[in-house]
Structure 1
Amino acid sequence: MKVAFASTDKVHINEHFGKAKEFYLWEIGPDAAEFTGILQVDEGDGDADDRIEARSAALADCALVYVGQIGGPAAARLVAKKIHPLKSKTAEPITEVVTRLQEVLRGSPPPWLRKAMMKNAGAAKG
């Protein structure tokens, strides 16, 4: 599944969703994970709603988005697009989160995560 990470230093999950200029993209599965690129956000000169929409549209093919912080309206917009936002309380290293996510995927993922995994499985078939 595709997962995005908001970071200011390319290492830690520490950026606010609404301020992120770029997201670090990973393809993560139970047995393999790889960094696949950087998504640059072009938000133009819009207001807060436009900035949220620009980010959520750019992340449309991601199942999960890890951020340092996110506001309620932005989180709701992501959920409406079937993207699950997750906050990192401690600016965790991206690679540690990737490893933990793989461990969960190898075991018995919670229902919300199984649903997120199906988003990308459906996209791959279509």
Structure 2
Amino acid sequence: MNRPLLPPALALRIGLAARALPGDGLRRLMPVLVEVLGLPLTERKLKELSFARLRSAGNGEFASTPRAILLRALGYLRGEIEPRIVDAPPPMPQPYRHGDMPGSLRVAVVCRSGERIDGSFSTARSLLIYQVSRQEVRLIDHRPVAANGGTAGDTPRDTARDAARLAVLGDCQLLYARTLSNRSSASLMRAGIHPVATPEGGEARARLAEFQEILRGQPAPWLLRAMGEGPRAAPEQPTRPNAAVAGSSPAAPACAASAESATSSAPARQPALA
């Protein structure tokens, strides 16, 4: 029996790298890999492939390819970017009308796949919106946000990206993400949205079930007000925001959060949940 030319895992990595390249990526990439690394192609050889060698090989086949695109292809080849063969589609929201769930809050969750908390607010391309009460968790909306590339930093462009995300969160009181930078946390709190970082990720409904336990116990006064149960309680917001949000979160003791990157000298203070 003939052995395959490439192990399936390596074939997948090369295929993903080729797909990341412009034009007929596989036809362009394979001769370059054979020229630079020789046959047989192995995991060790791919891991040792450098950006400079990939760019200059094949008479400069990829010399004009944008650096970001070539780095992404190289990340697949080296195994530094984990392949995601099939992403679970976004779940179907359930019908919801204003007033359906008295005493509830609106919670946004950064989910890249299905209903898992697996993304950063700074790079979020979509948000799931849940209505959460003591008795029920209901998915009511799936909101796309402006796509971006690269790593978030503390630049005017990154601030604009956060503003684009905040614009679709005007009716939410909390946001869950796997990672949150100090800058993003501060932006959310200025908009009156409580940021919750969950570095371990996990299923959104499991995390929201934990939040329900807080609501059934002794939630913080600001949560009671948001639920319409405390003094000066705020009315429930419409389902969709119509403009960029503004405001500030209540001052209270800090609660734990993780930072995806330190973008300010001191971490933002967050109101406590309980």
Band the TM-score falls in, shorter-chain normalisation: 0.7 to 0.9
Query: Based on CA coordinates, which of the two structures has the bigger radius of gyration?
Result: 2
Tell me which of 202, 206, 212 is aligned to 1:92: 202
Structure 1 residues 116 and 71: alpha-carbon distance in aligned structure 2, compared to 1, 3 A threshold: farther
Could you tell me whether the CA contact under 8 Å between 1:6 and 1:13 is conserved in 2? yes
Residues 1:81 and 2:191 aligned together: yes
* Structure with greater strand share of residues: 1
State the 1:117 CA deviation: 3.8
d(CA) in 2 for partners of 1:18, 1:27:
23
Aligned 1:55-70 pairs, distance under 5 A:
55-70=165-180
Q: Deviations over 1:60-107 (max 9, x none)?
A: 111000001111111111101110000012012101012111121111
Could you tell me whether the CA contact under 8 Å between 2:176 and 2:196 is conserved in 1? yes
Could you tell me whether the CA contact under 8 Å between 1:67 and 1:86 is conserved in 2? yes
Could you tell me whether the CA contact under 8 Å between 2:225 and 2:234 is conserved in 1? no
Task: Determine what percentage of the aligned residue pairs are the same residue.
Answer: 26
State the 1:32 CA deviation: 1.6
Q: Deviations over 1:31-83 (max 9, x none)?
A: 12201010111368982111010111211111000001111111111101110
Structure 1 residues 115 and 68: alpha-carbon distance in aligned structure 2, compared to 1, 3 A threshold: farther
d(CA) in 1 for partners of 2:112, 2:147:
17
Could you tell me whether the CA contact under 8 Å between 1:43 and 1:54 is conserved in 2? no
Could you tell me whether the CA contact under 8 Å between 1:63 and 1:117 is conserved in 2? no
Q: Deviations over 1:1-35 (max 9, x none)?
A: 10010011122211010110000110001112201
Could you tell me whether the CA contact under 8 Å between 2:109 and 2:117 is conserved in 1? yes
TM-score by length of 1: 0.86
* Structure with greater helix share of residues: 1
The unaligned stretches of length 5 or more in structure 2 are: 1-104, 150-155, 239-274
TM-score by length of 2: 0.42
| Range moving further from structure 2, 71-80 or 104-113 | 104-113
Give 2:234's aligned amino acid: G
Give 1:55's aligned amino acid: R
SS at match of 1:124: coil
d(CA) in 1 for partners of 2:160, 2:237:
31
Residues 1:122 and 2:234 aligned together: yes
The unaligned stretches of length 5 or more in structure 1 are: none
Could you tell me whether the CA contact under 8 Å between 1:43 and 1:50 is conserved in 2? no
d(CA) in 2 for partners of 1:10, 1:23:
11
d(CA) in 1 for partners of 2:227, 2:192:
11
d(CA) in 1 for partners of 2:179, 2:197:
6
Structure 1 residues 9 and 122: alpha-carbon distance in aligned structure 2, compared to 1, 3 A threshold: same
Alignment root-mean-square deviation, CA: 2.3
Q: Which of structures 1 and 2 has the larger relative contact order (alpha carbons within 8 angstroms, sep 6+)? A: 1
Match of 1:14 in 2: 118
State the 1:115 CA deviation: 5.1
Could you tell me whether the CA contact under 8 Å between 2:171 and 2:237 is conserved in 1? no
